[in-house]
Amino acid sequence: MFNVDRPEAAPASLHTRKKYDGQDVYDALDEVFFSKCYLCETKEPHDINVEHFDAHLGDLNKKFDWNNLYFVCSRCNNIKGAVNNNLIDCCDEGQDVFRAIKHLPPVTPYAKSVQVVAMYDDDKTIETQELLDKIFNSEHTVNKKISGSFLRRKVFGQYNLLLDQINDYYSPVATQEDKVRAVEKIQVLINRSSPYSAFIRWCILGDEELNPLLVDLMN
C-alpha cells in the first residue's frame, strides 16, 4: 500500500448528493491515487470503481463524504465488499501504510503466492493484511484464481525491472555512471506513483547498500 495526500476541498458534484462517482470525483481521485488501485496498486486498471472506504450501508453522509471515497479496481472492490471496514487508511498522514504491511514479490512469473505480512499486531493492520492476502493469493473461485495469477505476474514484471537495475548496479564492470543511472531508475520504481511500489520498496529495505541511498525517498 502507499500513502496519498487528499485535498480538503471536495469535488463540486458531491454537494448535490445525487451521484458520488461523477466525472469530477473520478478525476480528483485519479490524481490523488496516482491512477492506482489503493489496495493492489495496479496502475490504470481496466475497470475502476469509486469505493466507500467505510461501507455506507444507506447512510447518506457516508455515501457522499469526500473523505470516504477511494480509487479501487473492481476486483479489489469485489473482494473487499462491505465487510472490511477496519483497514489502515492510506489517507491518514499519521499512518505509514507502506511499513505497516510487508510486501514480498513472487520469485517467478507463475509463483503461486506472494508474501503479505503484518508488521504490527493492531486490529486494523491485521485486517488489512488479511484482505491483501486474499487480493493477491485467493483461489476460492476459478475467476479469483485466474485473475490472482495474472496480478502476481504483473507484480513480478515490475520486480524484474528492479532486478535489471540491481544487476546493473552490482555488475563487476559497472562504472560510477552506471551505478548512478541504476539508482535513478530504482528511484522511479519506488516512487508512490509507480505500480506495485510497496513490493519494490520492501526489496530495497533489505539491501544493506541500496537502502541507505534510497530510504529517505520512501515516504
Nearest in space to 40 (alpha carbons), one of 68, 86, 69, 72: 72
pLDDT tens for each residue of 102-140: 999 999 999 999 999 999 999 999 999 999 999 999 888
Q: Is the pTM of this model over 0.75?
A: yes
Q: Average pLDDT, whole number, for the chain?
A: 95
Span 50-59, pLDDT tens digits: 999 999 999 9
The pLDDT tens digits for 147-179 are: 999 999 999 999 999 999 999 999 999 999 999
* Residue-wise burial string across 168-195, b where 16 or more C-beta atoms lie within 10 A, e elsewhere: bbeeeeeeeeeeeebeeebbebbbbebb
Task: Provide the grid cell at 14.
Answer: 458531491
In angstroms, the CA 57 to CA 62 distance is: 8
